[in-house]
Chains A and B, each alone.
Chain A
Amino acid sequence: MALDSKIPHGPLKDKWTDYKNHINLVNPANKRHIDIIVVGTGLAGGSAAATLAELGYNVKAFAYQDSPRRAHSIAAQGGINAAKNYQGDGDSTYRLFYDTVKGGDYRSREANVYRLAEVSANIIDQCVAQGVPFARDYGGLLDNRSFGGVLVSRTFYAKGQTGQQLLLGAYSAMNRQIARGKIEMFNRHEMLDVVKVDGKARGIIARNLITGEIERHSAHAVVIASGGYGNVYFLSTNAMGSNATAAWKIHKKGAHFANPCYTQIHPTCIPRSGDYQSKLTLMSESLRNDGRIWVPKNIEDSKALQQRKMKPTDIAEENRDYFLERRYPAFGNLVPRDVASRAAKERCDAGYGVNATGEAVYLDFATAITRYGKVQAKIQNIENASDAKIYALGQAIVEEKYGNLFQMYEKIVDEDPYKMPMMIYPATHYTMGGIWVDYNLMTSVDGLYCIGEANFSEHGANRLGASALMQGLADGYFVLPYTIGDYLSNEIRTGKIPTNTPEFDEAEKEVSDRINFFINNKGEHSVDYYHKKLGKIMWDKCGMSRNEQGLKEAMTEIKALREDFWKNVKVPGSAGEMNPELEKAGRVADFLELGELFAKDALNRNESCGGHFREESVELDGEQKGEAKRNDTDYAYVAAWEYKGEPADAVLHKEILEFKDIELKQRSYK
């Protein structure tokens, strides 16, 4: 089957408007007879469920947590981008579009990104109307901050809890519809398969996580908004429950999976401290505005630090290697996430890491504190201020800007970051790859949609800061509610979808069989045992830097691990009760397949782009020597994989990316 992205014709800036003017609509009386299932209630799923219900459809929403408000969108810190140009600094729809395509290393679909930039301003209006308390200036107008090295200030924020406030906004909109009976909310439910009837998505099989009961739910369309697959690495900044099961199940039923190798490894996370570690904690990118990243110049100093025989403050200025400033003088500490992460890994791999595991670099605020302190001394007319006084004055400024992050660091690491430089190391944070969708956000299965982080579309090979929240809400509030209507206009005569059909029987049986297998297997090893092993393979061989040999090994090792899992996994308890180990078993089983496809995709893409770095594809000489080298001639396409049984047998479909409004350039941060 050839991929049809269904991008409307016409000039880029008119596509969305023209498209909306010409799609089919469903009249309000008919909407009452149409059911839609939404799986996942983060920013994308929550906003979609609320909006579809407002329009009059009957929505059934599913979350594995005990409330929609707990979806992991809630943990986003920094902010949300929108081309409002409130600062008058030259921002525009085109500029946001351009920055997003460039930031994504020219591997996203132009028409989708332009539409995203176009609706971004509406998101802010909508959220303010809902009562989202964005930060404001003293004149009472909305404040903006700058983010991720772009040249304008377009990021709206609510302290360091922007994701929380936006999600609570969508949650409140959902609550209004739940109260009106237009959304039926299924908390503590997990989707375990999609049901197709005559080639169309017609429902799901879900497990009630309290009683263990397997349920059938039917609908005229199914929307997957279940987030990313970062937990394939075991350790990531994702929530413990974040999983790829919904996405992987639909992949197995015919939805192509696109660019799984595009993963964002975020540079500023708190390093791991031991084998017991369950997750990693992100520190906002904003810290790199004032923090300087370094390791010792001399490897003896690093060794002493690793053995705790020395403190970072003992190392003289001339013996420190500010490696980002050294390698990238133009952007310094503010290079994009992928570049910063790889540079830190390079130093640690060379033995210069600064903690016991050798996997940490310093993020040092001493220079910034002194700089702010001197300015404050001047402002406050303090003459001949002592170094200690200057430091105290500067510390107050840094505390005002980043206080909550410093406190979070101190709680976890038990060290005062105002006195000792922070230790940071990259961690898996976001997955740009995901289910392939067309311009309508429909997957390669009719009536099956995928939105938010779960799909592949907007961020190309690398996502810019503050763009994930924008995409989730754009998809849910402003895009899907239009595009899904065009499809549903053909469903007004369908009537209620029955669940007592062979298709539902078969899907339910598959789900039950798998659950019973887990419970009855009585193997040797816990689910986490396998998840940790998979995570290690992924991190070592499909992490920040990848090569052909490693990827081939990863495919073989994951396959072997998967086979062992299906023989020896041990799940305690029974199927008919709340059983967290059973939930994990199903999710890890899917990660064990997804991981192999990930490696296969990374192997296929023999170029370095965005978060995907192939050691074979680097600049060999000149100023860019050793830096990532993209290959537009051979790889300017979306790799959409069709399921064929074993992940290794997946079939590649290429969606060629055409860039009509942007000139392709190699990124340079020198």
Chain B
Amino acid sequence: MNLTLKIWRQKDSKAKGQMVDYKVTEISEHMSFLEMMDVLNEQLVNTGEEPVAFDHDCREGICGMCSMYINGEAHGPDRGVTTCQLHMRMFKDGDTITIEPFRAAAFPVIKDLVVDRMAFERIQQAGGYISVNTSGNTQDANSLPISKHAADEAMDAATCIGCGACVATCKNSSAMLFVGAKVSQYALLPQGQVEAADRVRNMVAQMDLEGFGNCTNTGACEIECPKGISLENIARMNRELMKASI
């Protein structure tokens, strides 16, 4: 198929960006979206133009590196996938595809489609851990049974890949699905109880400091999340925060 691409180009974080049109031809429907971008970049290199910078790594939907806001949706029109798992069969010959970076005040653009997600790192550093040192002397893994239900729910929350689609999707650029997922994972496990109050307070405080917006329960994040992280995690985080402030 032949396509027109409207891509956000921005030289660096300080430069003013703009949308630029490109044409790609003979795109196979079996290509992944990023392979289509590879074709474009190879074309640009060969004609002496600078290729489009975009984040990507594992290309199997788990590392969370790839982003892109495609035709107005984080990770594009398919559901339950990251951009690297999006296939060109979702598009038609002759389509015009708009490709922008994830946009949020807390995710400044570094170049073209690459954004800075260090705000997520700082939130995790504020409390996204259990304070246990490495030693050969922790208690036996089976000394503390955990109900299968709680373990499975913790696992569902822990599945978050930290891509930032929730933030890019939210009209308030809220990071509450991301933070809620981490808070929930530990809140559901006995090992996470000791520091639960400090954790939720510190992570939420850091989230606010980074300039993410608030949650107004529109639920768009849950729909766009490539890993299907549930809104319940936001509710659980709010409960944990209430508990911590009493």
- A578–B133 Cα distance when bound, in Å, is 37
- A179–B42 Cα distance when bound, in Å, is 41
Contact-size category for B: 35 or more
Specify which chain B residues have a CB less than 8 angstroms from the CB of A164 in the assembled complex. 62, 159, 161
Given A66-B65, A67-B121, A161-B62: A138 in contact with B154 (beta carbons within 8 A): no
**Which of A117-125, A293-301, A586-594, A656-664 lies on the face that meets chain B?**
A117-125
**Which of A26-34, A68-76, A370-378 lies on the face that meets chain B?**
A68-76
- A74–B30 contact, CB under 8 A? no
Specify which chain B residues have a CB less than 8 angstroms from the CB of A581 in the assembled complex. 45, 51
- B147–A74 contact, CB under 8 A? no
- B45–A54 contact, CB under 8 A? no
Nearest neighbor of B135 in chain A, beta-carbon distance: A126
Residue A4 interfacial (CB < 8 Å):
no
Specify which chain B residues have a CB less than 8 angstroms from the CB of A70 in the assembled complex. 57-58, 63-65
**Which of A169-177, A218-226, A438-446, A537-545 lies on the face that meets chain B?**
A169-177
Per-residue CB proximity of B69-89 to A under 8 Å, as 1/0?
A: 000000000000100010101
Specify which chain A residues have a CB less than 8 angstroms from the CB of B49 in the assembled complex. 572
Chain B CB count within 10 A is highest, among A178, A411, A570, for: A411
- A356–B60 Cα distance when bound, in Å, is 23
Residue from A128, A159, A414 within 8 A of B89 (CB atoms): A414
Nearest neighbor of B39 in chain A, beta-carbon distance: A276
Nearest neighbor of A579 in chain B, beta-carbon distance: B53
Q: Could you tell me the distance in whole angstroms from the C-beta of B165 to the nearest C-beta in chain A?
A: 15
- A328–B187 Cα distance when bound, in Å, is 49
Residue B217 interfacial (CB < 8 Å):
no
- B129–A67 contact, CB under 8 A? no
Chain A CB count within 10 A is highest, among B120, B147, B158, B185, for: B158
Residue A14 interfacial (CB < 8 Å):
no
- A387–B209 Cα distance when bound, in Å, is 61
Residue A669 interfacial (CB < 8 Å):
no
Given A69-B64, A578-B110: A175 in contact with B50 (beta carbons within 8 A): no
Specify which chain A residues have a CB less than 8 angstroms from the CB of B44 in the assembled complex. 572
Interface residues of B in 15-46 (CB under 8 A from A): 28, 30-32, 34-35, 38-39, 42, 44-46
Residue from A69, A75, A158 within 8 A of B60 (CB atoms): A75
Specify which chain B residues have a CB less than 8 angstroms from the CB of A140 in the assembled complex. 145-148, 151
- B63–A158 contact, CB under 8 A? no
- B126–A179 contact, CB under 8 A? yes
Given A129-B130, A135-B151, A168-B158: A74 in contact with B142 (beta carbons within 8 A): no
Residue A50 interfacial (CB < 8 Å):
yes
Residue A329 interfacial (CB < 8 Å):
no
- A72–B44 Cα distance when bound, in Å, is 28
- A578–B53 contact, CB under 8 A? yes
Q: Could you tell me the distance in whole angstroms from the C-beta of A473 to the nearest C-beta in chain B?
A: 10
Specify which chain B residues have a CB less than 8 angstroms from the CB of A331 in the assembled complex. none
Specify which chain B residues have a CB less than 8 angstroms from the CB of A128 in the assembled complex. 138, 141, 144, 191
- A580–B45 Cα distance when bound, in Å, is 12
- A142–B141 contact, CB under 8 A? yes
Residue from B30, B126, B134, B191 within 8 A of A131 (CB atoms): B191
Q: Could you tell me the distance in whole angstroms from the C-beta of B202 to the nearest C-beta in chain A?
A: 9
- A178–B125 Cα distance when bound, in Å, is 7
Residue A24 interfacial (CB < 8 Å):
no
- A72–B59 Cα distance when bound, in Å, is 10
Nearest neighbor of B114 in chain A, beta-carbon distance: A578
Residue from B117, B134, B135, B144 within 8 A of A47 (CB atoms): B134
- In the complex, 21 of the A-B residue pairs with CB atoms within 8 angstroms, ordered by the A residue number, are A66-B118, A67-B120, A67-B162, A71-B63, A72-B58, A75-B62, A122-B136, A125-B138, A126-B138, A128-B144, A131-B189, A133-B154, A136-B151, A140-B147, A140-B151, A172-B124, A175-B125, A210-B111, A239-B58, A570-B45, A581-B45
Known: A129-B138, A278-B34. 12 other contacts (CB 8 A): A67-B121, A126-B135, A130-B130, A140-B148, A141-B142, A165-B158, A175-B128, A210-B110, A278-B59, A279-B59, A528-B42, A570-B45
9 closest Cβ pairs, A-B complex = A140-B145, A172-B129, A133-B155, A128-B141, A133-B154, A179-B125, A51-B134, A129-B138, A239-B57
